[in-house]
A and B are shown apart, each in its own frame.
Chain A
Amino acid sequence: MDTTDGGTPVSDGALPSPRFPIEDALRSAGLWALVTLGLCFPIVAFETLQDFSNRLTIEARPLLVLFAVAAVFAGRLGWLAVRYHGLPQLLPATRFELTPERKKQLPRIGLAALLIFPFFALLLTGQGGAVKWIDNFGVQILIYVMLAWGLNIVVGLAGLLDLGYVAFYAVGAYAYALIATYVIPATVPGLGPWAFWICLPIAGILAAFWGILLGFPVLRLRGDYLAIVTLAFGEIIRLVLINWVEVTNGNAGIRTPYITFFGLPFSSRTGETTFGDVFALPGSPAVHRSMFLYYTILALALLVAVATQRLRRLPIGRAWEAMREDEIACRSLGINTVNTKLTAFAIGAMFGGLAGAFFGARQGFVNPRSFEFMESATILAIVVLGGMGSLVGVAIAAVAVIGGIELLRELSFLKQIFGPEFDPGQYRMLIFGLAMVLMMIWRPRGLVGARQPTIALDGNAKAISASHVKEGHG
């Protein structure tokens, strides 16, 4: 094992002193504990409760404060010890470097894992548990992978900060909902079972159209100003969906037909032939459907990935990246930045729209609650955490963020420790924020903060590590 890489002691001075400076460490930890005490005092130390006559009473919680202070004290002490001595040899691989060889294999391994995941889940959890793992985890994560990859084109490649990406997701979902529920039954009812497959391209085109519509007014904007306008755009779409009750049914939402296996339903109340009947498959229709949903969204997400990789090698993709670096230089090199921006918005929006149509067909129901700003923020957070521009990094971040949120729901055993009112799901924002802060400290460019060159004459394209370029230049 390479000892120089793994567990070398880190010291601030030139020579490591022979002994761990326990007094300094204790002093520092004490200071941290004191700060914690100060912070805890008003917020944690007292709780307001309503008594029987609806009056507020204050209850002190000294034990909780003590626990917090002790935790910070111990944590700081432990952290200092680890920094001084290095991590114990139990954890040798503390520095995971993404070498080019490893990086090349990562997508293949990931893809193989994704392909076998539903069967793996079925094997481990059986018919009853599989739907939860395939649908709640697999499909949910892949929707966000697809959304984040779509947003990555706009933010990561073209450098246009879009805080309202969820608007295109909403456009796609409502395009599916409206066409599948109203338009198709009213015009060509025979196409009903094919609704999803007909609406998918339409949703993509509509979303791309809305992307261009958003693009026009914001052509001159960059950075903060662009972010604010896109944020407003996202809210406008949502508010229109809420208030245009005649068309969208407002907050009550629209019930949509479920996805079919190319016209063949997965379950039927009226006794039609179902997917399970035709292929004589064992198991419940719910499992069939969730597996089909899984592979559909996997295919859609991979479509985005392949498109991104292809586009990056085309002049338009390079123009996006160049525009992110320097817009004025781009224009004076003959690049039409108007078209370049609009294509970035349109293509990013199109993938958002495709994901939206899928979402509609998966849920069987759409309403404006699914398209709040929080969604845009989550998708953007995934892109940033993953390292802007890196497909693999973004996918890993989506698994961590969305999988993490879903896993928190599973931690109901914690109720036995913290009491019945404890809901781990409530803490997701806290954990999310903490993860963000830690990332900004240790990996400010995201999980995979390197950019693969799009061209190489002699075939040995080397990844350019982010650490080689100064901060603020990328």
Chain B
Amino acid sequence: MNQPSQPLLSLQGISASYGSITALHNVSLDVPAGQIVTLIGANGAGKSTLMMTIFGMPRAHAGRIMFDGQDISALPTHQIARLGLAQSPEGRRIFGRMTVEENLRMGAEFAGHREFERDLQHMTTIFPRLKERLHQRGGTLSGGEQQMLAIARALMSRPKLLLLDEPSLGLAPLIVKQIFRVIADLNAREGLTVFLVEQNAFHALRLAHRAYVMVNGVITMSGSGQELLSSPEVRAAYLEGGRHHDAAAAQLEISQQGETP
């Protein structure tokens, strides 16, 4: 694995809040180029806030966010996106009344990539399902298809870094496996850097080169994906013990029966 001297994305002591409620405390993490980095944590730990803070919604009131050697902590959201960060946001946020094709075009247009046809072809090879649905409204797609569309829309800008916020949320285990396989493929074949936020700790950790655990807006653990996967604390909180509290863990149990890690 190549370790560049400088990580592609680097969060240095980030704090952010919604009004008077602090959501992130002094968060530092690195996403090296060419790797999959994952952030796991329970519901409400601040994972999605972290994701949105990278895009300046809300703004970090302390710390620095460096992307590709540039401080992006004060940039407007759309300019951050144009630097080569793309995200598949929480809840997918696809444009429901617009067609799949128009959704994809929205991903390409403003990030400045004009080779629409070629990129579209590429997306339909990655997600053949979208090819069948090209002229359908985004809102009529199934949950899994919408997730694929959200990822494809983000990829249309040919990003250097793809941020994925809970791509497995509310999807059937089979679809979840499919989506994680695509993420792994994109990273392995095209060298895409991925920052993945997940509640589905088992899948995310198996995929990740590097992983962080977040509890109540604080990073509590970090290490390689394998290290965390075998760590007793993580197993207790997110893989075994957690299943009684966590729907994602319950779902995980089902998929674990099918394949032994």
**Please, what's the 1-or-0 string for B60-97, where 1 marks a CB less than 8 Å from any CB in chain A?**
00000000000000001111011000110100011111
> Which residues from chain B contact A335 at a C-beta distance below 8 Å?
78, 106, 110
Contacts of B86 in A (CB 8 A): 332-333
- Choice from A453, A470, A473 contacting B135 with Cβ under 8 Å: A453
Contact of B137 among A322, A457, A468 (CB under 8 A): A468
Interface footprint category on B: 35 or more
* B172 part of interface (Cβ distance < 8 Å): no
Give the number of chain A interface residues (Cβ < 8 Å). 33
Q: Contact at A333–B55, with CB atoms within 8 Å?
A: no
Return chain A residues, CB-CB under 8 Å to B78: 331, 333-337
Q: How far does the alpha carbon of A333 sit from the alpha carbon of B146 in the complex, in Å?
A: 16
Question: Smallest distance from the beta carbon of A183 to chain B beta carbons, Å?
Answer: 40
Q: Are A333 and B98 in contact (CB under 8 A)?
A: no
A473-B77 in contact given A328-B57, A333-B107 (Cβ < 8 Å): no
Would A473 and B96 count as touching, CB distance under 8 A? Answer: yes
Find chain A residues with CB under 8 A from B154 CB.
Answer: 333
Q: Is the CB of B106 within 8 A of A462?
A: no
0/1 string, B89-126, CB within 8 A of A gives 1: 10001111111011001110111100001001000000
Q: Does A319 contact B (CB under 8 A)?
A: yes
Contacts A318-B106, A455-B105, A468-B137 given; indicate if A334 touches B157 (C-beta within 8 A).
yes
Q: How far is the CB of A455 from chain B (nearest CB, A)?
A: 6
Closest to A469 in B: B139
Do A462 and B82 touch across chains, with their CB atoms under 8 A apart? no
Separation of A462 and B101 alpha carbons in the complex (Å): 12
The smallest C-beta distance from B228 to any residue of chain A, in angstroms, reads 28
Please give, as numbers and ranges, the residues of chain B lying within 8 Å of A431 by CB-CB distance: none
A332 touches B81 (CB 8 A): yes
Q: How far is the CA of A334 from the CA of B78 in the complex (A)?
A: 4
Contact among A331, A451, A473 for B55, CB-based, below 8 A: A331
Chain B residues within an 8 Å CB radius of A457: 101, 117, 120, 134
Q: Which residues of chain A from 300 to 329 have a CB within 8 Å of any chain B CB?
A: 315, 318-319, 321-322, 324-326, 328-329
Q: Tell yes or no: B47 within 8 A of A by CB.
A: no
Cβ B76 vs Cβ A325 within 8 A: no
Decide: A334 and B102 in contact? CB cutoff 8 A.
Answer: no
A22 CB within 8 Å of chain B: no
B209 at interface by CB-CB < 8 Å: no
Cβ of B160 < 8 Å from any Cβ of A?
no
Query: How far does the Cβ of A375 sit from chain B's closest Cβ, in whole Å?
Result: 29
Contact between A333 and B57, CB atoms less than 8 A apart: no
- Give A322 to B111 CA distance when docked, in angstroms: 15
Instruction: Give the residues in chain B near A325, CB-CB below 8 Å.
Output: 95-98
B20 to chain A, nearest CB (A): 20
A417 to chain B, nearest CB (A): 47
Cross-chain contact A455 with B102 (CB below 8 angstroms): yes
Cβ–Cβ contact A464 & B77, under 8 A: no
Interface residues of A in 417-452 (CB under 8 A from B): 451
Q: Does B153 contact A (CB under 8 A)?
A: yes
Question: What residues of chain A lie closer than 8 Å to B136, measured between beta carbons?
Answer: 464
Q: Is the CB of A333 within 8 A of B153?
A: yes
Q: Could you jot down 23 A-B contacts, CB within 8 Å?
A: A318-B105, A322-B106, A325-B96, A325-B97, A328-B89, A329-B89, A331-B55, A331-B78, A333-B111, A334-B81, A334-B110, A335-B78, A454-B102, A455-B101, A455-B102, A457-B134, A460-B135, A461-B135, A464-B136, A468-B137, A468-B139, A469-B139, A469-B140
Which B residues have a C-beta under 8 Å from some C-beta of A?
Answer: 55, 57, 76-79, 81-82, 86-87, 89, 93-99, 101-102, 105-107, 109-112, 117, 120, 134-137, 139-140, 153-154, 157
Q: Given A329-B89, A332-B57, 16 more contacts at CB 8 Å?
A: A322-B95, A331-B55, A332-B89, A333-B106, A334-B157, A451-B97, A453-B98, A453-B101, A453-B102, A454-B102, A455-B101, A464-B99, A464-B137, A468-B140, A469-B137, A474-B139
